[in-house]
Amino acid sequence: MHVSRRGFFKVCAAGMTGSSLATMGFAPTAVLAEVRQYKLAHATETRSICPYCSVSCGTLVYSMGDKSRNAKARIFHIEGDPDNPVNRGSLCPKGAGLLDMVHSPLRLTHPEVREPGSNQWKRISWDEAFDRIARHMKADRDANFVDKNDAGLTVNRWTTTGFLASSAASNEPSYLSIKVMRALGVVAIDTQARI
C-alpha cells in the first residue's frame, strides 16, 4: 500500500460526535441518521475510442453497477474525453449518439459469415472466425508469396493481400500491426487514420 507522506483523513460515523460539527455546537445525530437511508452504489468511468470514423475521438463511458458482484454493469452515458488531444471533449452528432448504438437491438455482437454462393449470414464462433481468416490468409500467401525477384534478389514479398490498420490504435498496437504484417511479407499496408 502506498501511503501519502502526510497520511490519510478518516471521516467516519464513530468520529462524528467528536468532530468540529459537534464541538462547535451543532447536532451530529441528523447526519448519522441520514447515513442509514443510503447505500453505496458502484460506478465507473472508462476511456474508450469512438468506433465510427478515422478521426477516432476519445470517449468517456459512464456505467453503473458492480462488475464483481454478478450485477451487470449498465452503460448510461457516453461523452467526449476532455483529456484526449484529438477531440478535447467534443464529439460530432454521430459520436454523441454512441449510447444508442451500445444499446441497439440491431447491434452485431458476434461474428457471422456469408458462404460463397449463399445469400444468408450464418453465426459462427470467434474461434471459427479466426481459423477461417488464418486459413484464407495462409492459402493466399502460399499461392502468391514472392521470395525472389526477376534479378534473383531475395525480396520475400506477399503482394496479393493488403492490411488496413486501425485508426483507433495507439502507438503500441500500431507498432505491433506493422511488425506482424511486415514479418509476413505484406507490403500494401495503410491505416484508416490517413483516410
Partner 1 sequence: MNPASSATPGSALNPGLEPPAVIAPPADLFADRAARFERLAAGHASGDWLAFLARLTRVQHELLQQHPAVPLPDAATLEQASRHAMPPLPANGWPRDPVWRRHLATLADRLIPAAPESLRPQLAGLASAPAEELERLAAAVLRTEYDPREAARLPFVAAALQVYWTWMAAQPAFAGLARLDVPGVCPCCGSLPVASVIQAGQYAGTRYLHCSLCNTEWNLVRVQCSACGKDDKVSYRVLEEDVAEGGTQRELVRAEVCDDCHSYLKVVYRDKDAAADPVADDLATLALDILVDEAGYMRSGPNPLFIPGDAAA
- Residues binding partner 1 (CB under 8 A): 1-4, 6-28, 30-35, 37-47, 60, 62, 64, 76-77, 79-83, 85, 87-90
CB nearer partner 1, residue 38 or residue 126: 38
Tell the smallest beta-carbon distance from residue 80 to partner 1 (Å): 7
49 Cβ partners below 8 Å, 6+ apart?
Answer: 56, 57, 58, 59, 168
- HSE toward the beta carbon, residue 115, CA cutoff 13 A: 4
Nearer to partner 1, 17 or 54 (CB): 17
For residue 77, the minimal CB distance to partner 1 (Å) is 6
Using alpha carbons, select from 151, 141, 35, 48 the residue that is nearest to residue 102.
Answer: 48
CA–CA dist 147, 48 (Å, integer): 41
- For the CB of residue 47, give the shortest distance to partner 1 in the complex, in Å: 6
Burial class (CB within 10 angstroms; exposed 0-12, middle 13-18, buried 19+) of 185: middle
> Is the Cβ of residue 165 or residue 167 nearer to partner 1 in the bound state?
167
Q: CB 22 → partner 1: shortest distance, Å?
A: 7
Q: Which is nearer to partner 1, 42 or 148 (CB)?
A: 42
Direct distance between the N- and C-terminal alpha carbons of the chain, in angstroms, rounded to an integer = 46
